[in-house]
Amino acid sequence: MNNCDEILELISLQLDEALEAADANRLTLHLTHCPDCALAFSELQAVDALFHRAPMKYAPSGFTTRVVDAAFADALRYNLRLGVVGLMVGTLVISVILIMGQASLVWTVLSILFAPGFLSSGSLWMGEFWQALMIGGRVSLSVLDILRGLLLGPLLVPSVLSLLCGAFVTVLIQRKDQQTLTMT
Amino acid sequence: MISVDQEKAWVQGALAGDRTAFTSLVEAYKNPVYNLCYRMLGTSTEAEDAAQEIFVKIYRRLHTYDPDRKLSSWVLSVASHHCIDRLRRRRLQTVDIEEMPEWQPLVSDRPQPERQLLDSEQEARVQQLLEYLEPGYRVPLIMHYWNDLSYQEICEATGLSLSAVKSRLHRARLKLAELMRAHAPDLIPLMAQAKEKVEA
């Protein structure tokens, strides 16, 4: 960095009143014999004065009320969205549990109908159901039977409906958000 | 002057869902935030939209605010990042330097309405000059001139080092001086007088 570059930096500090006394003296001395830096000093002073004079822009009237309304509405939407997501996750977990239970029940019924001998092993609980699935090829239980049981299962229908309702509400909220953003 | 305790009370109140507390916070910072948005984005419509989004963001993220930090620095930090993001999204087209309109010299003895017109022209030119600067240089300049922040406060609000803040302010001024020298040498009588003095 040559001497004049260093002096230019000192000028900026001088304009911000952040120059130490020794550097201030060095600057003054340099400006008296360097016309280029003296001109630069005037120009930077002019920039400084122009920007110091530029007025502050004030927020329009009613701004605070609009902002506070928007912030609280956003928080409400955010909490609602969280609630919906929580509901969906909860529903999903319950659905899985129900599906497993339902499949166990269906399998038990099927085993009574098609392999009554298997009932003697007492297969009413889920652990045994899965155990039976592991050896599914050897018992009279097919995947199709399980699927049929699941689709027709009276407990599954409300679970799926809950999921669809959750998804629908989420889409509605997102659309509303987009409209609000467009309006603002 | 807003006390630290006052600010803490607003933050705690707002976190608890107190509308009045958040209203006070917005009321205290709406003008610095709006001005920063206007100077960064260039239009009042966009500035209002951005300022509103910033306060919504502030309310949503209030739980992440570190009470050891100055609230004004945090608010301006959120605001400046938001504006830079907006500019990035907008992919601002830099105005061609040749398209700058001719600048009329200022004459102090003009009648008042004309004087006001010149003031508004000067204001427009300040905004135009700002738009030539990279957003990273514009932010410290705005915080320095309009928000009266010290170097240290600008560091806190921008996350820049002290030397980076000094350097950006300096380079921004040099760039502005260069633009004014080339396109509006008589923008300020002081500049013209200085030039004449040096030439003489």
Asked whether residue A33 falls in the same domain as residue A98, the answer is no
Query: How is residue A167 written in tokens?
Result: 């998804």
Residue contact A56–B141, C-beta within 8 A? no
Pick among B55, B151, B165, B197 to test the A interface (most A CBs inside 10 A): B55
Asked whether residue B3 falls in the same domain as residue B78, the answer is yes
Lowest mean pLDDT among A122-126, A139-143, B194-198: A122-126
Q: By the 8 A CB rule, do A59 and B27 touch?
A: no
Q: Averaged over B3-14, what is the pLDDT?
A: 90
Asked whether residue A96 falls in the same domain as residue A11, the answer is no
Residue-level pLDDT at A120: 44
Q: Distance (Å, rounded) from C-alpha A52 to C-alpha B180?
A: 16
Lowest mean pLDDT among A49-53, A155-159, B73-77, B84-88: A155-159
DSSP B75-115: HHHHHHHHHHHHHHHHTPPPPPGGGPPPPPPP-TTS-HHHH
* Mean pLDDT score across all residues of chain B: 83
In a domain, B130, yes or no: yes
Residue-level pLDDT at A102: 62
Residue-level pLDDT at B26: 96
| Residue numbers of B between 165 and 194 with CB closer than 8 Å to A | 166, 169-170, 173-174, 176-177, 180-181, 187-188, 190-191, 193-194
Residue-level pLDDT at A110: 59
pLDDT band, residue B122 (cuts 50/70/90): confident
Asked whether residue B2 falls in the same domain as residue B86, the answer is yes
Highest mean pLDDT (candidates A18-22, A170-174, B73-77): B73-77
In a domain, A58, yes or no: no
> Of residues B68 and A177, which shows the higher confidence score?
B68
Q: Distance (Å, rounded) from C-alpha A135 to C-alpha B163?
A: 73
Residue-level pLDDT at B112: 52
Nearest to A33 by CA among A68, A60, A4, A67: A4
In a domain, B100, yes or no: no
Asked whether residue B71 falls in the same domain as residue B147, the answer is no
> Tell me, what amino acid is at B168?
R
Q: Averaged over A89-106, what is the pLDDT?
A: 67
Nearest to B177 by CA among A35, A46, A5: A46
- Cβ-proximal residues to A32 (8 Å cutoff; 6+ apart), any chain: A38
Query: How is residue B195 written in tokens?
Result: 């030039």
- Cβ-proximal residues to B174 (8 Å cutoff; 6+ apart), any chain: A8, A44
The per-residue b/e assignment along A45-61, b for 16 or more CB within 10 angstroms, e otherwise, is bbbbebbeebeebebee
Q: By the 8 A CB rule, do B13 and A59 touch?
A: no
User: For residue B59, what is the DSSP state?
Assistant: H
Domain boundary among B25, B57, B90: B90
Asked whether residue A72 falls in the same domain as residue A129, the answer is yes
Q: Distance (Å, rounded) from C-alpha B154 to C-alpha B45?
A: 26
Asked whether residue A168 falls in the same domain as residue A116, the answer is yes
Lowest mean pLDDT among A36-45, A140-149, B152-161: A140-149
Asked whether residue B61 falls in the same domain as residue B117, the answer is no
Nearest residue of chain B to residue A60 (CA atoms)? B48
At B146, give phi and psi (nearest 5°).
-100, -30
Residue-level pLDDT at A77: 87
In a domain, B116, yes or no: yes
**CATH code, B170:** 1.10.10.10
In a domain, B170, yes or no: yes
Asked whether residue B24 falls in the same domain as residue B73, the answer is yes
Q: Averaged over B130-144, what is the pLDDT?
A: 92
Torsion of CA A153, A155, A159, A162, to 10 degrees: 120
Residue-level pLDDT at B197: 56
Cα dist. A104→A23, A101, A109, A144, A148 in Å?
87, 5, 9, 14, 13
Query: How is residue A85 written in tokens?
Result: 């997501």
> Of residues A85 and A11, which shows the higher confidence score?
A11
Asked whether residue A116 carries a pLDDT value surpassing 50, the answer given is: no
Asked whether residue B182 falls in the same domain as residue B110, the answer is yes
Q: How many domains does chain B have?
A: 2
Contacts of B49 in chain A (CB under 8 A): 184
pLDDT band, residue A181 (cuts 50/70/90): very low
Q: How many Å separate Cα A101 from the centre of its chain?
A: 34
Count of residues in chain A = 184
Residue-level pLDDT at B128: 87
Residue-level pLDDT at A152: 54
Which domain range does residue A151 map to?
A: 63-183
Q: How many domains does chain A have?
A: 2
Lowest mean pLDDT among A85-89, A173-177, B72-76: A173-177
Q: How many Å separate Cα A99 from the centre of its chain?
A: 30
Q: Averaged over B134-152, what is the pLDDT?
A: 93
Asked whether residue B147 carries a pLDDT value surpassing 80, the answer given is: yes
Asked whether residue B7 falls in the same domain as residue B79, the answer is yes
Residue contact B144–A72, C-beta within 8 A? no
Nearest residue of chain B to residue A70 (CA atoms)? B56
